[in-house]
Structure 1
Amino acid sequence: MRLASLMTIFDGGLSIRQGMTPVKCDTVRRVPCHRLEPMLLASLIITITLGFVALAWSADRFVDGSSALARHLGVSSLLIGLTVVGIGTSLPEMLVSTIAALEGTPGIALGNALGSNIANVGLILGTTALVSPLIIGSGILRREFPLLMFVVVATGALLVDGTLSRLDGLLLLAGMVGVLAWMAWQSRHARSDDALISRELASAVPAAMPPRQAMLWTATGLVILIASSRILVWAAVALASRLGISDLVIGLTIVAVGTSLPELAAGIASVRRGEGELAVGNIMGSNLFNLLAVLGIAGAIAPFSFDMSGLARDYGIMTGFMLAIAVMGFLVGQRGRLNRWEGGVLVIAYLAYQGLLFYSQG
């Protein structure tokens, strides 16, 4: 089915676009209602799945190309690892939340950022711990956790009025610059127990490539990132409308899980290499980027307002999942380790949260 025809069915049969005249489903290509419904749902699910695949692929191409360009400009591998590669895992969240804010669906923009952080801890970190117990007791992680909690509190203070203004977004982006500068300083002055992180930051930089190829991958990745983000947001809004659930819940669930899949792949790859400590560091870094960069860019480009009742619930749950890292790692069981049973608890808690979200819509 061609995309134009598919959009005609969505806009006419479901009337999800504002300002469109509703069309009865049996007048759209003369398809009966009982046959159109499963076709629409299947098309939306396929579109969302393909959107996630395109997001992940284009983010990798963009990171590869821009990293190679930075190398040609003389930027150090460590700095590239901290910035281009570090932010690269959050590129899907950044683009989706920004496009959602521009399209007038703040629920998806906010839900994606918060939901990705919840998924990072409950689903990604929990699943990774089920594969292999994780070490979380290094000095750098002890420093990063207080920083992460400070950012959680500061971001919550900016959102407590029910708006993400342009000033709020700029403040969050300024905080992101400060965090990157701090991370660069820490990496340059790394002690022996932090050497693993510094080596991995440098080794994570993709292999060199010719300048022309680097420019091609950078441009191609960026174009497909933007296009796939728009398609994903459009399909997610349509699915929410069809299922009768809010944009916020779609952002907290399907969109958040999909954009967090790169972190899952990175986490499992780390533990298979025997570097479980790095997996925890990646999750904390991703959560920092999601709050500071994802919300910061969305707010700076397209400020929006949102329902505070949903924020109070989901922001509190996000904070609770993050605190669970410290409780499980330092107060329960073996100090400095996240065991398999603790990973199982995180996954079960995450699934229970997902069930709560959908139950609250019914």
Structure 2
Amino acid sequence: METIIVFVIFFIGLLTIVKGGDLFVDAAIWIAKKTGIPSIIIGATIVSIATTLPEFFVSTVASNEGHSDIALGNAIGSTICNIAFVIGLCSCIKPIKINKGLFKLKGSMMIGYLVVFFILARDGIITFKEGGMLLILFLFFIIVNILEFKNESGKTESCKRNSVYDKKHIILNIIKFVLGAWFIVIGAHMLVDSGIKIANIFKIPQQVVSLTLLAVGTSLPELVTSVVAIIKDEENISVGNIIGANILNLTIVLGASALVSDNGLFISDQTLYLDIPLSLLVMTIFVFSGAIKKEISRKTGLLLLAIYIIYLLILF
């Protein structure tokens, strides 16, 4: 009976996340149109911050309780899942058109941040000081987004002049945005909690759980948000969301996890020589494909999914 209840909670969490993603993307699209902020910037900041909350809470709590492997596995596993699984699946549903200029800059920053993290992690630990450095990298990312928005100021002013603001619509979309984000986070926690119980039932190792079940569970907000954005022809929100979420995982999530840990984040050989290199591989395929072809094609999507499946087989 208890096993049935766990599976019921899992599916309720899934439905909650789906509805939350729908509300959240609708509100994000409205914000982009009314403010004139490019949708890729909306996706890379507001949307990605909200969809990365599950990773943030899971990793910081795990790190504070002395479980570095779970904190790291969740964050690094999510960077792999976000591209290999989420982008792979989304591009199989529908090829993703790329806004080349903004994409190249943010994609390069994402890869650069992963390289920086690898350099910091080579000695086997991310210290308190290094955690602070990761947080500073996030501030730099926000500054870049602000400067990009200022470059679009002419377009923004034009959009503002042509927009009619209605208090009722403003309040409605704020409610949709907050409610959508709340549904996503609550649904993700329901999925993660029930998912761990399912893993225990089938006796799956903890390290594998953090890199797979937890990573996939906490990446479900990105998956749902990205799929909904693709269906609504808002590819830039989808792409911006994934890039922003990965940057947040490498800076805010891992940085905060190092700060709340008494002894820092300990890095395993598997993280250094399997997880990070694989994350770099899928990021490179994603960024180069988008920069050169101006789209993530179905073929690229299938390649990313194939890499993810091979990765899961290696872990198990």
TM-score category of the 2 structures, normalised to the smaller one: 0.7 to 0.9
Query: For 2:5 and 2:216, how far apart are their aligned partners in 1?
Result: 19
Query: For 2:153 and 2:310, how far apart are their aligned partners in 1?
Result: 40
TM-score, scaled relative to structure 1: 0.66
Query: For 1:167 and 1:174, how far apart are their aligned partners in 2?
Result: 11
Equivalence for 1:8: none
Q: Spell out the pairing of 1:1-362 with structure 2 (5 A cutoff).
A: 81=42, 84-190=46-152, 208-209=170-171, 243-302=202-261, 303-330=264-291, 335-358=293-316
Asked if 1 retains the 8 angstrom alpha-carbon contact of 2:90 and 2:226, the reply is yes
User: After superposition, what is the alpha-carbon deviation per residue over 1:51-97, rounded to whole angstroms, capped at 9, x for unaligned?
Assistant: 777788899999xxxxxxxxxxxxx9969957554411100110011
> Which structure dedicates a bigger proportion of its chain to helix?
2
Query: For 1:248 and 1:353, how far apart are their aligned partners in 2?
Result: 14
Could you tell me which runs of 5 or more consecutive residues in structure 1 were left unpaired when the two chains were aligned. 1-38, 63-75, 200-206
Query: For 2:110 and 2:255, how far apart are their aligned partners in 1?
Result: 15
Equivalence for 1:3: none
Asked if 2 retains the 8 angstrom alpha-carbon contact of 1:100 and 1:108, the reply is yes
* CA drift at 1:191: 8.1
What amino acid is the match of 1:255?
Answer: L
The structure showing larger relative contact order (alpha-carbon pairs under 8 Å, at least 6 residues apart) is: 2
Q: Kindly, what percent of the aligned residue pairs are identical?
A: 28
What amino acid is the match of 2:51?
Answer: T
Query: For 1:306 and 1:60, how far apart are their aligned partners in 2?
Result: 37
Change (3 A) 1:108 1:41: farther
Asked if 2 retains the 8 angstrom alpha-carbon contact of 1:60 and 1:88, the reply is no
What amino acid is the match of 1:319?
Answer: L
Change (3 A) 1:164 1:345: same
Change (3 A) 1:321 1:306: same
Change (3 A) 1:49 1:175: farther
Could you tell me which runs of 5 or more consecutive residues in structure 2 were left unpaired when the two chains were aligned. 25-34, 161-168
Asked if 1 retains the 8 angstrom alpha-carbon contact of 2:48 and 2:222, the reply is no
Change (3 A) 1:296 1:43: farther
What amino acid is the match of 1:264?
Answer: L
Q: Secondary structure at the match of 1:260?
A: helix
Question: Considering only aligned residues, what root-mean-square deviation do their CA atoms show, in Å?
Answer: 4.0
* CA drift at 1:139: 0.5
What amino acid is the match of 1:154?
Answer: V
Asked if 2 retains the 8 angstrom alpha-carbon contact of 1:114 and 1:315, the reply is yes
* CA drift at 1:310: 3.7
Change (3 A) 1:179 1:326: closer
Asked if 2 retains the 8 angstrom alpha-carbon contact of 1:164 and 1:305, the reply is yes
Query: For 1:51 and 1:170, how far apart are their aligned partners in 2?
Result: 34
Q: Secondary structure at the match of 1:355?
A: helix
Change (3 A) 1:131 1:309: closer
User: After superposition, what is the alpha-carbon deviation per residue over 1:196-236, rounded to whole angstroms, capped at 9, x for unaligned?
Assistant: xx99xxxxxxx6549xx98xx79x959x969x85x877766
* CA drift at 1:285: 1.1
Asked if 2 retains the 8 angstrom alpha-carbon contact of 1:128 and 1:267, the reply is yes
Query: For 1:311 and 1:99, how far apart are their aligned partners in 2?
Result: 22
